[in-house]
Amino acid sequence: MKSEEIRLEDLHAGKFIEQKVDEISAAIGTGLAMNALSGGVDSSTVTMLGYRALGERLKTYFVESGLMRHDEPKKVVSLFEGLGVPVEIIDAQEQFFEALKGLTDPEEKREAITQTFYSVVFGQLVRGSGAKYLLQGTNYTDVEETVAGIKRQHNILEQLGIDTEERYGYTVIEPLIQLRKPAIREVARALGLPEEIYRRPPFPGPALAARVIGEVTPQRVEVVRRATRIVEEELCDTGAFQYLAILHGDRVTGIREGRRDYGFQIEVRCWDSKDAITGSPTRLSYDVLDKLADRITTGVPGVVSVTYNITHKPPSTIEPI
C-alpha cells in the first residue's frame, strides 16, 4: 500500500475507511486474514477496518504475552464482543518470558519480543488457521523513527528489508501506514469505536517490557503493571498525550518503619504532545505528584522512590527503551 503521509487536515475519515476496506478486500480476495488486537487505538482501528472488509474471514487474536496492563485481555475482548467482533485470546506468557530471560539490552529485548510475536506465536497461528495475511497497525511515526534508527518498532519489517512471506509464511498489510496518531483517532471515531479507545493514549508495541529497564521477569512486570495502573487512574483526566510508569534497574536506599529498605524506583512520565515527534513534560501540580508518589510507594511492594521526568523530547524519547 501507499506510504506517503496523509496529514490530519487532508484526511476525510469516511472516504479513507471506504478506500481501505476496498483495498483490504481486493488484496485478500476470498482468503483468510488475521490480526493481533492489543486494545490500543492503532490495532483497534485495524480490527474494525478488517472486520468491515472481511467479516468472519478475519481472525482477530489477543495475544496474552504477560506484558499487558492490569485486566487488559478481559476488558478488550469484552469491548469488541460488544461491537460484534469476535476475538480469541492466545496465552503465550511462557514463550515471551522464556525469550526475555537474561536479556537486559533494549534492542535485544525488542528483538526477542518481535521474534516471539511473529515467529513463534503468529507462525503457529498462521500454520493452524491457513491465513496468509496479517493486518497490522503500523503508523507513519513508527516508520520514520525506525528509518532514522532511533528505535526499532516491533512492527516494522518491510522497511528493514525483511520479507515476511519468505521468513514467517505470511504477507503483512498495513492500512494505517500513511497516518499519524491524531488522524488514526479520527478514523477510529468514524468507525464507531468508543471514546475510551479512540482517545486512548499510545502504548508501546513491546507493552510493559518497554517500561522495564533491565531484565524483564514476571515479577518485575508485575511491579510496573501496578504502578502503571495507578499512573493511569491518576492522570487519565489530565488531557495529556501519554503517561507512563517505568521500573528502573537501579535500586536506591529507602526507609521503611525506621529501617533501611534497599528498594525499587519508579519513574513517571507524562507528556504534552501533538504527534509524538516532540513533547514536553506536562506541568502537573505538586498535589498530583505527591499523590502519585504516595500511592505508588504504598501500593506497589518494594518501591521506595518515585521520580518525574522533566526532560523534553528531544533529547528524551517518549518511552525509555
Q: Which residues bind its own copies (CB under 8 A)?
A: 106, 148-151, 213-214, 248-250, 252-256, 258-263, 267-268, 281, 283, 286, 289-290, 292-294, 297, 304-317, 319-321
Q: Using alpha carbons, select from 52, 42, 65 the residue that is nearest to residue 20.
A: 52
Q: Is 78 exposed, middle or buried (0-12, 13-18, 19+ CB in 10 A)?
A: exposed
Roughly how many angstroms between the first and final C-alpha of the chain, as a whole number? 29
Q: Measured from the CB of residue 151, what is the shortest distance to its own copies in angstroms?
A: 6
The nearer residue to its own copies, 2 or 259, going by C-beta atoms, is 259
The nearer residue to its own copies, 20 or 248, going by C-beta atoms, is 248
The nearer residue to its own copies, 123 or 214, going by C-beta atoms, is 214
Q: Measured from the CB of residue 103, what is the shortest distance to its own copies in angstroms?
A: 15
CA dihedral 65, 143, 239, 191 (to 10 degrees): -80
| CB atoms near residue 278 (< 10 Å) | 13
Q: Using alpha carbons, select from 318, 79, 311 the residue that is nearest to residue 195.
A: 79
Q: Measured from the CB of residue 213, what is the shortest distance to its own copies in angstroms?
A: 5
In one letter, which amino acid is 277? I
Residue with cell 474471514: 57
The nearer residue to its own copies, 3 or 104, going by C-beta atoms, is 104
CA angle 226, 301, 247 (to 5 degrees): 55
The residues near 230 (Cβ < 8 Å, ≥ 6 apart) are: 245, 292, 295, 296, 299, 300
Q: Measured from the CB of residue 53, what is the shortest distance to its own copies in angstroms?
A: 36
The nearer residue to its own copies, 132 or 313, going by C-beta atoms, is 313
Q: Measured from the CB of residue 245, what is the shortest distance to its own copies in angstroms?
A: 12
The nearer residue to its own copies, 43 or 282, going by C-beta atoms, is 282
Q: Measured from the CB of residue 315, what is the shortest distance to its own copies in angstroms?
A: 5
